[in-house]
Amino acid sequence: PRWNRSPSLMAAVTVTAGASVGATTGTNVNMRSGPGTGYSIVLTIPESGTLVTITGAQTGGWWPVRYNLRDGYISGDYLEVVG
């Protein structure tokens, strides 16, 4: 698989019933406070294949996600839905 399942990265992902999982498709992917590049960067996910919890529907090409207990948005250009 293309995603990274290392124990340290898996610990950062908590999936609730009905939630989906996504994997980043690039390195240094910015998670933003809103659905667009005009929003501030909440954090940067350094490794490609890092798993995140998708918390809602895609809006304008951006996915709402939770990673490392933080909520934000990742562009669909850098996220693959894997489960």
pLDDT tens sequence across 35-71: 999 999 999 999 999 999 999 999 999 999 999 999 9
Q: Picking from 1-10, 20-29, 38-47, which range would have the lowest pLDDT averaged per residue? A: 1-10
Asked if residues 9 and 70 have their Cβ atoms less than 8 Å apart, the reply is: no
What residues contact 49, with CB distance under 8 A and at least 6 apart? 1, 2, 3, 4, 23, 24, 25
